[in-house]
Chains A and B, each alone.
Chain A
Amino acid sequence: MEIELEQGWEIVLRGFNKLKNIVEGLPEPQFTSEDYMKLYTTVYTMCTQKPPHDYSQQLYDRYRESIEDYITSTVLPSLREKHDEFMLRELVKRWTNHKVMVRWLSRFFHYLDRYFIARRSLSPLNEVGLTCFRNLVYLELNGKVRDAVISLIDQEREGEQIDRALLKNILDIFVEIGMGQMDYYENDFEDAMLKDTAAYYSRKASNWIQEDSCPDYMLKAEECLKREKERVSHYLHSSSEPKLLEKVQNELLSVYGNQLLEKEHSGCHALLRDDKVNDLSRMFRLFSKIPRGLEPVSSIFKQHVTGEGTALVKQAEDAASNKKSVGLQVFVRKVIELHDKYLAYVSDCFQNHTLFHKALKEAFEIFCNKGVSGSSSAELLATFCDNILKKGGSEKLSDEAIEETLEKVVKLLAYISDKDLFAEFYRKKLARRLLFDKSANDDHVTDLTLARENQTSFEEYLGNNANANPGIDLTVTVLTTGFWPSYKSFDLNLPVEMVKCVEVFREFYQTKTKHRKITWIYSLGTCNLIGKFEPKTMELIVTTYQASALLLFNTADRLSYSEIMAQLNLTDDDVVRLLHSLSCAKYKILIKDPNTKTISPTDSFEFNTKFTDKMRRIKIPLPPVDEKKKVIEDVDKDRRYAIDASIVRIMKSRKTLCHQPLVMECVAQLGRMFKPDIKAIKKRIEDLISRDYLERDKDNPNLFRYLA
């Protein structure tokens, strides 16, 4: 059965009108399956008829035309007469209707999609339908719509309640009208919305920056960012989120960043000073979002820490000049506390960000390398450790506390450039602790163990050889030279009683081994003397030097400075020190004439028979020589060798190298232990040239060559 075009079209049109009515909400019965099949069949037939009655093309065209007619006659007028929010609602309604319509129509006209459209690569029916809406409705109205939406957004920003669902529906239109592309949404809405947002926050920021303190401003900023993020989840398309937040961050933070940080009484400096950790955490969160936002913050942080550290140094200097020796110990403790405090800041407020770790490190490197009253920080740290570890040190700590504290010292050590200096000081003090500290953990030191074994067999030897007995109880500690710091030995003239001891031990030692040479270090020895004083007999614990001096008074009542020095065969330095300890310090075993506080070469001394103390047994300390100078000398020497070795190593592998790079590599290689002086490196290079390790290039004096 053939259908003519107009005949068939009439049927279709009827269906179309029915659809219109349903969609407009007019009373109209729903489609029956019969209705459906009728329409479908009509279209089908019109498309499968033999030409010239194949009406596919016409149907395709009329499909579009009908939709366009409907839009122009009904949809557009209803939209044009409304404004603002009412217009938006109408648009949503019309769009929804339209979608329903197109869906139905596509079903009816479905046969077109299957063959006609496919064969000619035309736009499918669905697309045609939506395009009609886009070209007629959207194109005309999107500007107005956009403005209405943005206006509502700004109202919401000011605190008013708006219909979020409506906005969501509207913005969905922008998205859907793109039919897979976001172009319309982005170009017709998002761009303008972003611009408006930027302007809005720019206005707000310029007010707030004048009126608000830094913490308050930051609170507001954080709140705004939170709200904008919520806005996205409520009705904006998710792709807008990063762009939107970026705009807000830019206006609130990037533009006014520096002004904010540098606010006089509430900016970053003030917050650090007042320990406002919450505000600082917020600052970090906010500024980490903008490009290079953290750099100024970390820079202020570094300044602040440096300031605090330098203040501590000054404090310690002042205490030292007031002769408070505890000051130095306290100084190190305070530096440790400072480090703990700001390390906590870095991990809590600044989320362990590398920039801040770096700032902390650089700050500490600056003030940790300042010495205090002549003592380098390396020495201070070594002294601090010594005090903690030795028995009778100024701190009494549990083993746990000791370990904890030492761990912190290690962290500080990382900042000190003269690490080798620290090592040397530490070694010296360790050696002293091991030798004299009865509580020292000498199990770990094999040498001392051997020494003790030695002593035991010495005592056996004495027991077996009655005539060898020196008459005095003698304990000898034999050390292997290489394992210990070098100690100067002096040719002390021993008192007669002791001479015999030395000989007896020497004989004993010969029985044990013939291949070793013994050097006696009298400066480290101790003696127990019995002093027969008039009030009561007392036991004196003194050093060997002091004992030698005192024993001189067994045979003479009064001796002059020069006589004592001649008898003992010691240097002025040593004699002054030891006589001072015996006559001008706490216990006056000798009476000095004249009775002044210092020793001079014209003094003379007498045994103080009337000396007494409430204790029966006292220790008379002999303050040790200041080894500081020696340590520094030793370290300097070691450094020269280290520099030499480093230069040779570098040149050997490079064969030729210019001056600047050579110096730089040298500094880098040695950096782990100390910061080499550039002049020193230059000198060592010259020295190596004169020793034929290197040579200068004939044409280029800046270039060195390795000589194998």
Chain B
Amino acid sequence: MRKEDTVKLISAEGFEFVISKEAAMVSQTIRNMLTSPGSFAEAQHGEVTFPEISTTILEKICQYFHWSLQYASGKETEFPIEPELTLELMMAANYLHT
């Protein structure tokens, strides 16, 4: 994938997740940011830090993005969520408007 097609999501602990823009924009918040009028400075493009989101959650979220894209194309599968992650995941989802 070309660099222009990806975004880097950075967790509170500093872990970097590089995913496709398409996947990232499943989050309305990220989508809004990426499509805002007046472009961002080139160097800054494609990197978002989430100081409030832990690595585990962020990882799960990235998985969700990809699962969501798959689901959108019609393949029905279940998205597995470990119960102990549920609350944090919900809050992150709310924050990210996903």
Are A107 and B36 closer than 8 Å at their CB atoms? Answer: yes
Q: Chain A residues near B47 (CB, 8 Å)? A: 33
Are A32 and B44 closer than 8 Å at their CB atoms? Answer: yes
Q: Is B73 an interface residue (CB 8 A)?
A: no
Q: Is A158 an interface residue (CB 8 A)?
A: no
Instruction: Of the listed stretches B15-23, B48-56, B61-69, B81-89, name the one at the interface; the rest are far from the partner chain.
Output: B48-56
Are B41 and A30 closer than 8 Å at their CB atoms? Answer: yes
Given contacts A33-B33, A37-B33, A40-B29, contact A100 B52 (CB under 8 A): no
Are A29 and B37 closer than 8 Å at their CB atoms? Answer: no
Given contacts A40-B33, A107-B32, A114-B97, contact A33 B40 (CB under 8 A): yes
Are A104 and B44 closer than 8 Å at their CB atoms? Answer: no
A161 to B45 alpha-carbon distance, docked (Å): 45
- Chain A interface, DSSP helix/strand/loop, else mixed: helix
A40 to B33 alpha-carbon distance, docked (Å): 10
Q: Is B39 an interface residue (CB 8 A)?
A: yes
Of A34, A44, A107, the residue contacting B44 (CB under 8 A) is: A34
Given contacts A40-B29, A100-B38, A107-B33, contact A34 B49 (CB under 8 A): yes
Our count of residue pairs bridging A and B at CB distance below 8 angstroms stands at 49
Are B29 and A33 closer than 8 Å at their CB atoms? Answer: no
Given contacts A37-B49, A114-B97, contact A30 B33 (CB under 8 A): no
Give min CB distance, A22 to chain B, whole Å. 7
Q: Is B95 an interface residue (CB 8 A)?
A: yes
A34 to B47 alpha-carbon distance, docked (Å): 8
Give min CB distance, B69 to chain A, whole Å. 22
Which chain B residues in 23-39 approach chain A with CB under 8 Å? 29, 32-33, 36-39
Q: Chain A residues near B45 (CB, 8 Å)? A: 33
Per-residue contact bits, chain A 111-150, to B (CB 8 Å; 1 contact, 0 not): 0001000000000000000000000000000000000000
Q: Chain B residues near A103 (CB, 8 Å)? A: 36-37
Q: Chain B residues near A110 (CB, 8 Å)? A: 29, 32, 97
Q: Chain B residues near A40 (CB, 8 Å)? A: 29, 33
Are A41 and B52 closer than 8 Å at their CB atoms? Answer: yes
Chain B residue nearest to A30 (CB atoms) is B41
A88 to B36 alpha-carbon distance, docked (Å): 28
Q: Is A36 an interface residue (CB 8 A)?
A: yes
Are B41 and A32 closer than 8 Å at their CB atoms? Answer: yes
Of B33, B39, B46, B94, the residue contacting A36 (CB under 8 A) is: B33
A contact residues, total (Cβ < 8 Å): 19
Per-residue contact bits, chain A 87-118, to B (CB 8 Å; 1 contact, 0 not): 00000000000001001100100100010000
Given contacts A30-B38, A31-B38, A32-B41, contact A37 B32 (CB under 8 A): no
Q: Chain B residues near A41 (CB, 8 Å)? A: 52, 95
Give min CB distance, B44 to chain A, whole Å. 4
Chain B residue nearest to A99 (CB atoms) is B37
- Chain B interface, DSSP helix/strand/loop, else mixed: loop
Chain B residue nearest to A100 (CB atoms) is B37
Q: Chain B residues near A31 (CB, 8 Å)? A: 36, 38, 40
Are B36 and A37 closer than 8 Å at their CB atoms? Answer: no
Of A22, A30, A44, A107, the residue contacting B40 (CB under 8 A) is: A30
Q: Chain B residues near A44 (CB, 8 Å)? A: 95
Are A37 and B40 closer than 8 Å at their CB atoms? Answer: no
A41 to B97 alpha-carbon distance, docked (Å): 12
Give min CB distance, A207 to chain B, whole Å. 52
Q: Chain A residues near B33 (CB, 8 Å)? A: 33, 36-37, 40, 107
A30 to B36 alpha-carbon distance, docked (Å): 12
A188 to B69 alpha-carbon distance, docked (Å): 49
Chain B residue nearest to A19 (CB atoms) is B38
Are A33 and B37 closer than 8 Å at their CB atoms? Answer: no
A110 to B52 alpha-carbon distance, docked (Å): 18
A36 to B48 alpha-carbon distance, docked (Å): 9
Are B95 and A33 closer than 8 Å at their CB atoms? Answer: no
Q: Chain A residues near B46 (CB, 8 Å)? A: 33
Q: Chain B residues near A100 (CB, 8 Å)? A: 37-38
Q: Chain A residues near B44 (CB, 8 Å)? A: 32-34
Q: Chain A residues near B52 (CB, 8 Å)? A: 41
Which chain A residues in 21-78 approach chain B with CB under 8 Å? 22, 29-34, 36-37, 40-41, 44, 48
Give min CB distance, B48 to chain A, whole Å. 5
Q: Chain B residues near A22 (CB, 8 Å)? A: 38
Given contacts A37-B48, A37-B50, A40-B29, contact A29 B36 (CB under 8 A): no
Are B40 and A32 closer than 8 Å at their CB atoms? Answer: yes
A36 to B94 alpha-carbon distance, docked (Å): 17
A110 to B29 alpha-carbon distance, docked (Å): 9
A100 to B50 alpha-carbon distance, docked (Å): 26
Chain A residue nearest to B8 (CB atoms) is A33
Q: Chain A residues near B40 (CB, 8 Å)? A: 30-33
Given contacts A29-B41, A110-B29, contact A104 B36 (CB under 8 A): yes
Q: Chain A residues near B97 (CB, 8 Å)? A: 110, 114
Chain B residue nearest to A1 (CB atoms) is B52
Give min CB distance, B40 to chain A, whole Å. 6
Chain A to chain B contacts (Cβ below 8 Å), 24 pairs? A22-B38, A30-B38, A30-B40, A31-B36, A31-B38, A31-B40, A32-B44, A33-B44, A33-B45, A33-B46, A33-B47, A34-B44, A34-B49, A36-B33, A36-B36, A37-B49, A37-B50, A41-B52, A100-B37, A100-B38, A103-B37, A107-B36, A110-B29, A110-B97
Which 9 residue pairs spanning A and B have beta carbons closest together?
A32-B44, A36-B33, A33-B48, A30-B41, A107-B32, A103-B37, A33-B44, A44-B95, A107-B36
Given contacts A31-B40, A32-B40, 13 further A-B contacts (CB under 8 A): A30-B39, A30-B41, A31-B36, A33-B45, A33-B49, A34-B44, A37-B33, A37-B48, A37-B49, A40-B29, A41-B95, A104-B36, A107-B33
